Amino acid sequence: MTPVVEAPAARVAGVVETVERARAYFATGATRGIDWRLAQLAAMAAMLGENRARFEEALRRDLHKGATEARFTELGSVLGEIAHTRRHLRRWLRPRRVSVPIGIAPARARLVAEPLGVVLVIAPWNYPLQLTLAPLIGAIGAGNTAVVKPSELAPHVSAVLAELLPRYLDPRAVYVIEGGVAETTELLRQRFDHIFYTGSGRVGRIVARAAAEHLTPVTLELGGKSPVWFDDDAHLAGAARRIAWAKFTNAGQTCIAPDYVLTTPDRVAALTAAIGAEVTRMWGEEPARSPDYGRIVNDHHHARLLGYLAEGEIAFGGQHDVATRYLAPTILHVGQAPDARSDEDGRAVLTEEIFGPILPIVVVDSAQAAVDHINAGEKPLAMYVFAGSAATHELFVAATSAGGVGQDVAFLQAGVPGLPFGGVGESGMGAYHGEYSVRTFSHLKPVLRKPYALDALGVTMPPFTPWKRRIADRFSRSA
């Protein structure tokens, strides 16, 4: 059983009161107006623009995230999402006409997007700014009020958000509750109209269970072991560069980072050398000295990652420092792929999500063997295929399942606002980004209007005379 963690009484009262206030404000209708929504999004952009240095400093303190990386993957990414949403929101919200079948005509059918109410956003620590604000953009864009719970494991970003969000955004609509398990547990006791959770599957299950009590819909943005297939005819230097970048950015603490590489025995040495060369190009001979290389978020995760190092042969990197929670970009040779259905090979590095800068290279005999290996495991959040032939790319798209796929690229699929971002199976449920966010946080309400004139509805109403029965008979036959 999961132990129940009690929050201090004052904080508990704070949570209850916060949700009540968010609900009362939603009931006023103030958040439904599209101008209000657009103004909130503009205010969020202003918050980021005017406080860029503060956010960058907080990210550096929490994760040793370099300012330039932070601009690309956190601030810039959120600002891009805001701009995209502001540009298209009116169109997304326009009621959509839907055609009606002849038997129901004349009538007018529409889909009207209505906000759900009060939304809870629970964020993780690895992209603590982006993964708190990106869902909030959708929640506000859809016209909801929101309670946001940033990650306690990125305390500096959490504190800046708690200070600035209510200052820039309408404080009656957007609330920040800081804290960890106790506060989140208390939040989860409350009734929300949607819960948007990003993090591990373990906590995702706790969230889903709590949501079930209130029949609250959930979006679960989880993780998993995202594989890479590196084919014999793949572009070596190009693939190595993109794999190294996607894997070791943020010291590997990215939900869609490549978790491990599958390739044939002949390619292992060349790929290892090429990825190593790209690491050196990006972060230098000693990444520990690079201002652009991250650190592991806490001692627990650092120790967990060091444990993996003993489960293979370190072919590149491996240097580490407990005091600064440094772990160099590391390539681990782990040999032949174990049979995923047997647990004879008990190596954690092959079964757990790594979520750090260790890239195992796993050997298989063929692309089909890689497909079988992937299919024997849980459905990943992302899958990456580096291959020279369209047929190989197609094989992986058609024969495996994943939240998203990158072909000859990794990481970037999450940066296309027109593509939904989310998992499938063990990697999550639901999706967001751009229009998909607005859909996630809205109810698409069907509305049907029918004039009294030209009314053929009587056919479906008793008494059922013989000719009505004949029509019903025809209606119930297949075409």
Q: Which residues bind ligand NAD (CB under 6 A)?
A: 122-126, 131, 149, 151-152, 180-181, 184-185, 198-200, 203, 206, 221-223, 255, 353, 355, 381, 423, 428
Both tokens assigned to 254: 């990215």
Distance CA 111, CA 91 (A): 13
Q: 122 or 395, CB closer to ligand NAD?
A: 122
DSSP 3-state assignment of 405? strand
Distance CA 278, CA 241 (A): 5
Both tokens assigned to 186: 């208390």
Angle between helices 76-93 and 34-50 in degrees, nearest 10:
170
**Of 127, 143, 116, residue with least CA distance to 74:** 127
Q: 317 or 428, CB closer to ligand NAD?
A: 428
Q: Minimum Å distance from CB 190 to ligand NAD?
A: 13
Concatenate the DSSP letters of all residues of 235-277 into one string. -HHHHHHHHHHHHHGGGG--TTS--EEEE-GGGHHHHHHHHHH
**Of 295, 239, 230, residue with least CA distance to 260:** 230
Q: 31 or 198, CB closer to ligand NAD?
A: 198
Beta strand 260-263 with 227-230: parallel, antiparallel or unpaired? parallel
Which residues share a beta bridge with 326? 321
Whether omega before 463 lies within 30 degrees of 0, making that bond cis, reads yes
Q: Minimum Å distance from CB 184 to ligand NAD?
A: 3
Q: 153 or 334, CB closer to ligand NAD?
A: 153
Q: Minimum Å distance from CB 469 to ligand NAD?
A: 55
When CB distances to ligand NAD are compared, the closest residue is: 223
Both tokens assigned to 10: 């004052």
Q: Minimum Å distance from CB 187 to ligand NAD?
A: 8
Q: Minimum Å distance from CB 281 to ligand NAD?
A: 27
Which residues share a beta bridge with 146? 119, 174
156 touches 121 (CB < 8 A): no
**Residue 390: its H or E element:** helix 390-399
Q: Minimum Å distance from CB 255 to ligand NAD?
A: 3
Instruction: Tell the residue number behind the tokens 């009484």, with chain if given.
Output: 9
Cβ-based neighbour number of residue 300 at 10 Å: 10
Q: Minimum Å distance from CB 130 to ligand NAD?
A: 9
Q: How far is CA 344 from the centre of its chain?
A: 32
Cβ-based neighbour number of residue 304 at 10 Å: 16
Report the catalytic residues: 221, 255
DSSP 3-state assignment of 451? coil
Distance CA 294, CA 472 (A): 69
Q: 362 or 381, CB closer to ligand NAD?
A: 381
Q: 253 or 392, CB closer to ligand NAD?
A: 253
Whether omega before 106 lies within 30 degrees of 0, making that bond cis, reads yes
Q: 124 or 143, CB closer to ligand NAD?
A: 124
**Of 85, 76, 1, residue with least CA distance to 42:** 85
DSSP 3-state assignment of 232? coil
Q: How far is CA 59 from the centre of its chain?
A: 19
Distance CA 133, CA 128 (A): 9
Q: Minimum Å distance from CB 445 to ligand NAD?
A: 28
Q: Minimum Å distance from CB 5 to ligand NAD?
A: 7
Q: 250 or 442, CB closer to ligand NAD?
A: 250
Q: 122 or 358, CB closer to ligand NAD?
A: 122
**Of 379, 424, 383, 70, residue with least CA distance to 228:** 383
